[in-house]
Structure 1
Amino acid sequence: MPPEAPDPELTTIRRAWPLAARNCLLDSPEARLRLAATASMAATLVHEVNQPLAAATNYLSACARRLRALGAGHEDLLAMLDHAGQETLKAGELIRRTRNFVINGRISGRRENLRTIVERAILMIGERRDRVGITTEVPLGLFVKVDRIQLEQLLFNLLLNACEALAGRADGWIEIGAEAAADGAVLLSVTDNGPGLNAVALARLADPPGGPGAGLGLAIAAAVAEAHGSRLEVENPAEGGARFTVALAAAT
């Protein structure tokens, strides 16, 4: 199969492996071997998982064609099959782009609507969103240059972290906000009214995935932020809770 032509709308945003500068990753032969093994496993995973995903997509398409051949009256089933096909395609894209991110830390950014990304990330946390109050203060016309899938993963991890912090609270809330900064960037924030982060939790942001005491979700979010040329800022606001903020490149 010939290689795909590069998409002119895509822009490589960042450098090589974003966590490579952290001494704890590459301070021993064992750590370097583990990193190489992770990259190899990512490549294998893409190859092995994409085959059944492609097969599932083909089966769904075949079912849709047979239903359409039967005539009218199956619109609901066809809609479900179409949605299922779109989800399998999305899964394949997610796996391929995550593989590229794991291997070389590079992401490809394009102009994306930030409000749409936020809404998709909220859907990703499933029924957890019904246990807390989630509000969004993200303008509809705000566009950023990002890797959509990776940013959705960043938000998913931050929302999941907030939901876990609010577990058992009847008055728990999460606010997702975005605003333009003076330097032209867009500041995206996730704030909750949980107990805040203690020193141990804050230190986990410096741990590589799988490192001692690692908070894997926060480590992934931090890595995605770095790959976008930013960093994940964390604070405990004076009024309580925790706030995570990342600066994104604005797109006109």
Structure 2
Amino acid sequence: LETSNEELQSTYEEAQSTNEELYTSSEELQTSNEELQSTNEELRTVNQELSVKSSELETTNLQLKAINDRLLHEIEERKWAEARLEIERAKLATIFRSQPNWINICSLDGIIQEINPAGVLIMEGHSPEQLIGRSMRDFVLPEYRKEIDKCVSGINDVGEFHAIEVKISTFKGNVRWLEIRPVLIHLDNDELRIMSIIVDHTERVLTQNQLAERQQELAHIMRLNTLGEMASGIAHELNQPLSAIANYIRGCELRMKGDGCSEQEISEVMQLVSTQVKRAGEILRYAKDFTRKDQDIEWHEHDINAIVHETLYLLDTTEQFKQIQLSKSLYANPIMVNVNKIQIEQVLVNMVLNALDAIREAHPPGSGMLQIRTERLDQHQVKVSVIDDGIGLPEDYASKIFRPFFTSKKGGMGMGLPISSSIIEAHGGKLEAHNNISQGAIFSFTLPTKGTQRP
């Protein structure tokens, strides 16, 4: 029994120890449960966060997919753009090479960096290397170098510059007339360059010069023809002073033979002779000046009233005004014009002779009126008018009379008025014709006044 109690005591102690262990395990389990619950809460929170992140990631993925699609589209467009750009570059290169005008690509200081074949051809060179690295300043004639310098500085200041005309000397020494149109351009790398399109006007200028020479020759022929028509009048006018001179000299001879002539009388006669000689000389001088070639005449400033006076004097010496009444209504003060005096006189002579013909057709000899008028239109223009009371202009003539070879005169060349019109236009004016309100016609032309540059 005692042994059984000890065993029971021992069993009890073991059971108590086991209970303690179980209690401890229970506490540990409880702690583990709490930790597990906390972990579950954390996992639940993490899961919620993961769910949010997943939604955000899904949204981001959709955005990335859209961006990727857009990038792919942009890449395709860029490829097409680059392809089109290459095509355009090829076109521009073809245009650059085939352009008949000279094209220069220059640095901002005007040094040529690229040139098309037309430029080499215009310069009569054999390769672009002859021009690359040089400036247009090296090829223009000396008097145009300042224009090139002004052009380069101007294009750098404002990005564009008006066209300039220059003369150059080619590699073969020939002179050519060029028009330069520069503009500032941006290259692919955003660098600035000056591009100039240069047009060769040599053929046009030479043609214009030849046309002007032919026109001058024709105008000279017309003046000779006009003076030929007035030759009988000039001869008659010259005959008067020559006859007077002959009479004065014959009288002196008779007095000297009769010993009834004093030195005082001879001196007086010689003065009369001198006056007649001057008169004859003036007639010849006017006729000689009128027939001079235009190449011998320079442009100068003249009083338009003085030109009118000299023209009327020339016509008066040929007895053109014997059968009409001539009146002058000239501006009170001198009006200076920059002109070729002989050409303006030619225009006036042609206008007056046409008016005289119209008067003779409308009136019997000894009647008819002709008026010459000068007036200042404004500070920049003067107007000269020839007004007659002749037959006037038919309705359809006003638009035709300035055409070459159109004439209403028998045996007329039809070149007087066209030449006159071209002369006035070359002086910066305009020749017009219209009927007078009462009777006859008015032919008039305008001219720029002093201070206006020669056209």
TM-score, normalised via structure 2 length: 0.36
Q: 1:80 to 1:220 in 2, by over 3 A?
A: farther
C-alpha displacement at 1:152, in angstroms?
Answer: 1.7
Structure with greater helix share of residues: 2
SS at match of 1:203: coil
Mapping of 1:49-64 within 5 angstroms? none
Does residue 218 in structure 1 map to residue 411 in structure 2? no
**Aligned partner (choices 179, 185, 195) of residue 381 of structure 2:** 185
Q: Which residue of 2 aligns with 1:242?
A: 441
Output the CA distance in 2 between the equivalents of 1:219 and 1:147. Answer: 17
CA shift in 2, pair 1:144/1:191, >3 Å? same
Aligned to 1:233: 432
Contact 1:135 1:175 in 2 (8 A): yes
C-alpha deviations, 1:119-172, integer Å up to 9, x for none? 222233332313222211112422232222222221111111111001051552
Of 96, 108, 118, which aligns to 2:308?
Answer: 118
Corresponding residue SS for 1:229: coil
Decide which of 129, 149, 156 is 2:349's aligned counterpart: 156
Once superposed, what is the RMSD of the aligned Cα atoms? 3.9
Greater relative contact order, per chain length (Cα 8 Å cut-off, separation 6+): 1
Measured in 2, the distance between the counterparts of 1:19 and 1:241 equals 38
Q: CA deviation at 1:220?
A: 3.4
What are the equivalent positions in structure 2 for 1:26-175 lying under 5 Å apart? 35=214, 72=267, 73-98=269-294, 100=295, 108-126=298-316, 127-145=319-337, 146-167=339-360, 169-170=363-364, 171-175=367-371
Question: How far apart are residue 231 of structure 1 and its match?
Answer: 2.2
Q: Give a deviation string over 1:216-247, Cα, whole Å, max 9, x none.
A: 33233223212322221111233332111111
The structural deviation recorded for 1:214 is: 4.1
Please name the residue that 2:393 is paired with. 197
Q: Verify the 8 A CA contact 1:204 1:214 in the aligned structure 2.
A: no
Shift in CA distance, 88/239, structure 1 to aligned 2, threshold 3 Å:
closer
The Cα shift of 1:183 comes to 5.6
Mapped to 1, the partners of 2:349 and 2:306 lie a distance apart of 13
Aligned in 2, Cα 1:110/1:88: closer, same or farther, shift over 3 Å? same
Match in the other structure for 1:59: none
Q: 1:209 to 1:18 in 2, by over 3 A?
A: farther
Q: TM-score normalised to the size of structure 1?
A: 0.61
Structure 2 unaligned residues grouped into runs of 5+: 1-204, 225-248, 250-262
**How far, CA to CA, are the matches of 1:204 and 1:187 in structure 2?**
20
% same residue: 25
CA positional deviation for 1:208:
5.7
One-letter identity of the residue aligned with 1:150: Q
Q: CA, structure 1 residues 120+234, in 2 after alignment: closer, same or farther (shift >3 Å)?
A: same
Q: Please tell me the residue identity of whatever aligns with 1:193.
A: D
Contact 1:18 1:226 in 2 (8 A): no
Highest CA radius of gyration, 1 or 2? 2
Question: Structure 1: which amino acid aligns with 2:329?
Answer: E
